[in-house]
Structure 1
Amino acid sequence: MKKMISVAEAKGLIADSVLRLDAVEVKLMDGLGRCLAEDIFSQIDMPGFAQSAMDGYAFSWRGYQEFGKMEIVGEVAAGAAEAGPRPAPYQSVRIFTGAPVPEGFDTVLMQEKASVRDGMLEVLDNDLICGRNVRLQGSEISKGALAMKKGTVLTAAGVGFLASLGLEKVAVVREPRVTLIVTGDELQQPGLPLGFGQVYESNSQLIQAAFLHLRFSQPKIVYAKDDLPGLTESICLAMLDSDMIVLTGGVSVGDYDFVVPAAEAAGTTSVFHKIKQKPGKPLFFGVRDYVLDAKTDLVTAKQTVVFGLPGNPASVLTCFYQYVLTAIEVYSGCPVSLPVKHASFLDGYKKNRGLTHFLKGIYSDGVVRLLGAQESYRLSSFSLANCLIEIPEESSEISAGASVVVHLFG
């Protein structure tokens, strides 16, 4: 636990430690953006009847081939309770989009290709074929078929599809309950005057905004003083109703850095402390004990994971994107990690070997350029960035034009 580990090792340990959360039933619209907790099977044929795809005229192809012109004997609109009695092969009906096609009929002629005179229909479409413009019963999905697989993230189109199958509710993996504990006696709330030695507290709004961007519920915010007993109590209280606790500040090894001992005193088992990266080297991650249901593989006794993020804002956001998102992805089943691309690096960069560097950059059309103000306390450049540039631990120099990995912000 004492040695620094690599970025890849840290992500692997987080993924191996965090357990997916249990399921909750929600209204269909409330499931938007969430991960389905079970397979969904259709309870109906969709459509439930042969359905016209056009405004036009329905008839039997065989009858058309035999008689040519056909008598128009009725009309069927969308929403009709029935399609009427079975017409004769030499007959046709006026029909509208979404209406049921009468029994025995198999083709719909679009109205623009029809000629009607004295109650008789003449077909003007030389390309018409049997079955044209008719949606067969169950052609979208048949009763009992798999509609959506467990683990699918529900999109707007998915909501519409499931609604068309008559679903009102869905089972989704519930959202993680998160408590954010902000430490630092030097912090002052925005809107209040700064005293000497104070800085405005921004990390809580930074993290809240990041969760909001992901469409997750806002974390509960707790402010804690820089003392071991008080911070330990805050962590213990948060564990009562939190799946995840995120602390900012107090995670290094200074005289007033109490996050690690407080987390351990609250029952957290350390998984790692310190990563070979810049910014965010002092990152802490630990897990409170949990129990699994052997049959379902779900948590029956609550698990709480604890992240201790460095206090500098750029470090906070970098660690959130790289590590907290890894845990949330496992928790929820939703692919929330930043998308990764390779890009041509416009600028050269030099560093000492031994640490992975995450640099704020601007990506466009396969090219990425480095921003200034890379220090961990500076958010000004982060507010302009649309990606993090990853410079590997083992590299000491990246030449201009070389290919680099970039993590794109959504």
Structure 2
Amino acid sequence: MNTPVLEPPVGAPPQDTCAIFDTDPSPAEAVERLCAHIQPTPCETVPLRAALGRCLAEPLPAPMAFPPFTRAMMDGYALRAAEVEPGAQWHVLDEVIAGQIADKPLPAHTALRIATGAPLPIGADTVLRQECAQRFGQTLRGLLPRIVLGKDTEAIGSVTAVGDLLISAHSPLLPTDLAKAARHGISQLSVHRPARMALLIIGNELTPAGSPLPSGHLYEHNALLIESTLDQHRLGQIIHTAAVKDDLAAIDQAIGSARAQCPDLLILIGGTSVGTHDFTRRALSRHGQPLFEGVHTRPGRTACASVTDNGLVLLALPGSPKAVHALLESILLPTLRFMQGQPIS
């Protein structure tokens, strides 16, 4: 007996489908599609501490040489290397410490007691370490037969010359980068501002942590996962959050309210599957053109995205904790890095 083929009633609305095939983009390809419709955030000038983890839009050249003077790198005596020979002696004139400058050039066959970091006096080109000399009152005797010119000194501009590349663009600024900027007299940097995102958490069964848990409900935790991950990586801030029921009109209205906040990216969590009470992908289609309707990955195959007529990207992720965590790493974080000046990796 043949099994009859069931046809939908005439005039019945089509059922939701989830068109996910092997031709759906990989996570990396999904990121490329998203970034094709996203512009890096504009730049703002901030104090150095506030620039940590953010990206320069342009390479930063050194505005000054470093060190700005030739300096001693060891405690000892500043003198001329050419005068160092067996039996050589020098008359010790004075002492100079870090932050001081010798008030006159160094005469021949004289030496100046010098501390690490102090500028070499004019006429001196080398530091004779204190353990390589003997001093008797104002008379200094060297214990080395010769010394290399410039020994235990750091020449002006030997670390950085004016105009040298100080900090590269498009990479998150590290504490060492900030210290390097400060060392060259820079107190502020122009960096991409943090991305501003709106976040909609969709689901009838979700209850805020700390509230009594109704039967059949779960505590909502994906918002915390996303916000804390953004904080950890310094990749932006959530400027608008809303909990939304599994209702097409409610989701549609929530998207409109979120768009009014002018976010750089709108993220929706939940309702991306094909059940009779999953409305997120249908709501996305009302607000823009689809960028992808599935991703070739598990977990997270039902992730989808669209772009509005004014260029706002809407990215919807499944509500499964495993899917959210996986897509955070493979899609959302790479997209946010691009938004804040980093290249697509």
Structure of greater relative contact order (alpha carbons < 8 Å, 6+ residues apart): 2
Shift of 1:3: 4.9
Q: Find the counterpart in structure 1 of residue 319 from structure 2.
A: 311
Q: Find the counterpart in structure 2 of residue 323 from structure 1.
A: 331
CA gap 1:216/1:171 in 2 versus in 1, 3 angstroms: same
Name the TM-score, length of structure 2 as normaliser.
0.87
Q: Give the 5 Å matches for 1:137-152.
A: 137-152=156-171
Secondary structure in 2 matching 1:181:
strand
Distance 1:150 1:198 in 2: 47
Contact kept? 2:86, 2:143, Cα under 8 Å:
no
Amino acid of the residue matched to residue 73 of structure 1? L
Larger radius of gyration between Structure 1 and Structure 2 = 2
Count of matched residue positions in the alignment of Structure 1 and Structure 2:
323
Shift of 1:307: 1.1
Matched, 1:120 2:139: yes
Shift of 1:309: 0.5
Q: Find the counterpart in structure 2 of residue 246 from structure 1.
A: 267
Amino acid of the residue matched to residue 139 of structure 1? S
Distance 1:289 1:110 in 2: 71
Distance 2:288 2:77 in 1: 72
CA gap 1:253/1:127 in 2 versus in 1, 3 angstroms: farther
Shift of 1:336: 9.4
Distance 1:250 1:261 in 2: 10
Q: Find the counterpart in structure 1 of residue 291 from structure 2.
A: 271
| 2:113 maps to which of 94, 119, 126 | 94
More displaced, 1-10 or 95-104? Answer: 1-10
Secondary structure in 2 matching 1:252:
coil
Shift of 1:120: 1.2
Secondary structure in 2 matching 1:18:
coil
Distance 1:153 1:194 in 2: 41
Amino acid of the residue matched to residue 227 of structure 1? D
Shift of 1:2: 4.5
Shift of 1:230: 2.1
Distance 2:285 2:43 in 1: 29
Distance 1:140 1:51 in 2: 12
Could you tell me the percent identity over the aligned residues?
Answer: 30
Amino acid of the residue matched to residue 304 of structure 1? L
Distance 2:46 2:230 in 1: 20
Secondary structure in 1 matching 2:186:
coil
Matched, 1:203 2:222: yes
More displaced, 100-109 or 232-241? Answer: 232-241
Q: Give the 5 Å matches for 1:203-222.
A: 203-219=222-238, 220-222=240-242
Q: Give the 5 Å matches for 1:165-204.
A: 165-204=184-223
Q: Find the counterpart in structure 1 of residue 73 from structure 2.
A: 53
Secondary structure in 1 matching 2:84:
helix
Q: Find the counterpart in structure 1 of residue 64 from structure 2.
A: 44
Shift of 1:335: 7.0
Amino acid of the residue matched to residue 39 of structure 1? P
Name the TM-score, length of structure 1 as normaliser.
0.74
Amino acid of the residue matched to residue 306 of structure 1? L
Q: Find the counterpart in structure 1 of residue 92 from structure 2.
A: 72
CA gap 1:246/1:198 in 2 versus in 1, 3 angstroms: same
* Structure with a larger share of its residues in strand: 1
Amino acid of the residue matched to residue 196 of structure 2? R
Deviation by residue 1:200-251 (Cα, 9 ceiling, x = unmatched): 1111111122212212344242211222222122212222321111111111
Contact kept? 1:67, 1:90, Cα under 8 Å:
no
Deviation by residue 1:61-87 (Cα, 9 ceiling, x = unmatched): 12334981111001111111x322112
| 2:34 maps to which of 7, 14, 17 | 14
Write out the 4+ residue segments of structure 1 that deviate beyond 6 Å after TM superposition: none
Q: CA RMSD in A?
A: 2.1
Secondary structure in 2 matching 1:277:
coil
Shift of 1:313: 0.8
Distance 1:75 1:327 in 2: 58
Distance 1:322 1:228 in 2: 28
Structure 2: any 5+ residue segments left out of the alignment? 1-17
Secondary structure in 2 matching 1:108:
strand
Deviation by residue 1:136-179 (Cα, 9 ceiling, x = unmatched): 11111122322122223211111111000011100111111012
Contact kept? 1:113, 1:125, Cα under 8 Å:
yes
